[in-house]
Amino acid sequence: MRMKPTSVLQIVALGLGLVSCASAQATDGAPVIIEGVVPDETTRAALVQRLRSIYGETQVMDRLQIAAVTTPANWSRYVTQAIVGELKEISKGQLTIDGNVVNVHGKVSSNEIHDRVQSRLKSAFNTTYEVHDDLIVDDTNARQALLDRTLASRTVQFETGSAVLTPQGLAVLDDMAAAITRVGVPQLDIVGHTDSVGDRQANILLSVQRADAVKAYLTARGIDAQRMVVGGRGPDLPVADNGTPAGRARNRRIEFVIRRS
């Protein structure tokens, strides 16, 4: 994941050694970038080697510069110690060390991981360093997993060719309403899907109507309508073979997807 680089002007103006490095691997395969100014080649080599040992040889892009900058005592050792494996737990992250001021930004998936990253970073420095933690706990994955477990292998059923929910479909939605309330979803996509029988455009319209029916029922169960966005994909995203009755039944489904911030 590529981070926003720290400006060279800022480094020069402060007159202090600074390292800025990505703290999580990008899902698209983009490299981790380390850049800034360090006092010598030994420091540069140690930092790059440390990052490559965590992220892999081919995933680290070295943009460090060497210059005669003023650094606190033992700065190079402390900075190298701060490149810890826990940084991989951060997504969309940035670690910046400017003299004896340390800032870490990004998202982590739980309070436990947040505390672990914070503890490891603080233990890497002595008490003359200021460690500022701006990590955000984003537990979207855990909340999505709970919704997925609640739905499990069930489908929200409707009357054939209509957007009228069956008793079985209502029972599933009762469970989903409880799960959505429990996780406190900020915004939820409700997406309808159909099998491939019949006209595609008619199926897309039906999938939207079914998603609307689900939203209406969940609203009646106390879920804020403003937090739900409906959509329909018709037969375009099958999860099973439309050539069998069982496959078509699986494809006639409603998906509940938490939107990421």
Are residues 128 and 170 both part of a single domain?
A: no
pLDDT digits (tens, 9 = 90+) for 39-80: 899 999 999 999 899 888 888 888 888 888 888 889 999 999
pLDDT at 148 over 50: yes
Has this prediction a pTM greater than 0.85? no
123 in any annotated domain: yes
Whether residue 233 contacts residue 191, with contact meaning beta carbons closer than 8 Å, is answered with yes
Are residues 118 and 198 both part of a single domain?
A: no
pLDDT at 22 over 70: no
Which residue from 109, 120, 103, 125 is spatially nearest to 21, judged by alpha carbons? 103
Greatest mean pLDDT range, 46-50, 85-89, 107-111, 164-168: 164-168
Residue 33: alpha-carbon gap to chain centroid:
19
pLDDT at 257 over 50: yes
Give CA–CA dist 3/20, Å, rounded.
9
Domain of 234: which CATH number? 3.30.1330.60
Give CA–CA dist 151/47, Å, rounded.
46
Whether residue 32 contacts residue 25, with contact meaning beta carbons closer than 8 Å, is answered with yes
Are residues 60 and 34 both part of a single domain?
A: yes
- Mean pLDDT over residues 93-118, rounded? 88
137, 156, 186 — which closes off a domain?
Answer: 137
Are residues 41 and 131 both part of a single domain?
A: yes
Confidence of residue 234 (pLDDT cuts 50, 70, 90): very high
What's the domain range around 152? 141-258
Are residues 87 and 178 both part of a single domain?
A: no
Whether residue 211 contacts residue 232, with contact meaning beta carbons closer than 8 Å, is answered with yes
Give CA–CA dist 261/111, Å, rounded.
18
Domain of 28: which CATH number? 3.40.1520.20
Give CA–CA dist 37/141, Å, rounded.
36
Q: How many residues does the chain have?
A: 261
2 in any annotated domain: no
